[in-house]
Amino acid sequence: MSHWIAFWDGPHSIYVNARHKEVHYRLVAEEIAALVPSPAARVLDYGSGEALRADLVAAAAGKLFLCEGAPRMRAGIAARFAGFSKICVIAPEDVERLRKHSLDLIMLHSVAQYLEPDETAVLFELFQRLLKSNGVLIVSDVIAPNVSVWTDAIALLRFGAANGFLVASIVGLTRTLLSDYRRLRSHFGITRFTEADMIQELNAAGFVTRRAAKNLGHNQTRMAFIAQPVSADCPD
């Protein structure tokens, strides 16, 4: 995943303009906030990105851990939310030191495609240890084998048209086709899962899993999954 971390930690053109970035992060944050089970819940957003509207999630929770592997991005997040007592910004290695069975909700949004299969398996096993017996893991924005870059492009254009940045989306897509993202995706590829494969991966790590009716974010050609620990003997 190191090549992708380096990409996200530097300048890139994934967001076509400031409006796109703001609307994207607000939408995802609102949808995560709606999943928080209680005002006292402890939530982990693993691979949070810039998390521009993490305040919305924190307002619905008791504690929010934002885990980001890109160092410069993580420093920016920490600076942005320095005054928020409910938000704790951590590195991936810090997640392993969280207390066993201490989390109510774990989010893995738009991350699985950048992981190798063995990395995914290790991460799911870690999440199973960290969740309470009644906790929930959401794995979202999962890309199926039949979803192409052009399918994603159409979803972005529709999102732009609905939110006032259609022209910027057209320009931005052209820029992205010539960018490092396109070259990285072509050279290293991205990890795709069928619905059955993702359910099998999660169940092998000790979850009971089902596909969610709706993906998080704007792209409904991608998938989301709801996974709960099999074991019922973990203390809450």
Q: Tell me, rounded to whole angstroms, the distance of Cα 69 from its chain centroid.
A: 12
Vertex 45, ends 205 and 14: CA angle to 5°? 110
CA pair distance 165, 153, nearest whole angstrom? 14
Domain assignment of residue 166, yes or no: yes
pLDDT tens readout for residues 164-209: 988 888 887 776 665 555 555 554 568 999 999 999 999 999 999 9
Q: Partners of 106 in the beta sheet?
A: 44, 137
Q: Which candidate, 140, 127, 65, places its Cα nearest to that of 101?
A: 127
Residue 235 covered by a domain = no
Q: Give the per-residue pLDDT at 94.
A: 97
pTM metric for this prediction: 0.89
Examine residue 28 and state whether it is found in any structural domain, yes or no: yes
Q: Tell me whether residue 126 is in a domain.
A: yes
3-state secondary structure of 157: helix
pLDDT (average), residues 204-229: 97
Residue 236 lies in a domain: no
Domain housing 218: 2-229
Instruction: Give a yes or no: residue 143 inside a domain.
Output: yes
- Please state the domain count of the chain: 1
Pairing of strands 131-142, 103-109: parallel
pLDDT digits (tens, 9 = 90+) for 1-33: 566 677 667 766 678 888 988 999 999 999 999
Q: List the CATH number of the domain containing 148.
A: 3.40.50.150
Question: Taking a C-beta distance cutoff of 8 angstroms, is the pair 53, 26 a contact?
Answer: yes
21 three-state secondary structure: helix
pLDDT at position 4: 65
Residue 121: inside a domain, yes or no?
yes
Cα→Cα distances 132→88, 209, 228, Å: 19, 16, 9
Structural domain contains residue 234: no
Residue 131 in 3-state DSSP? Answer: strand
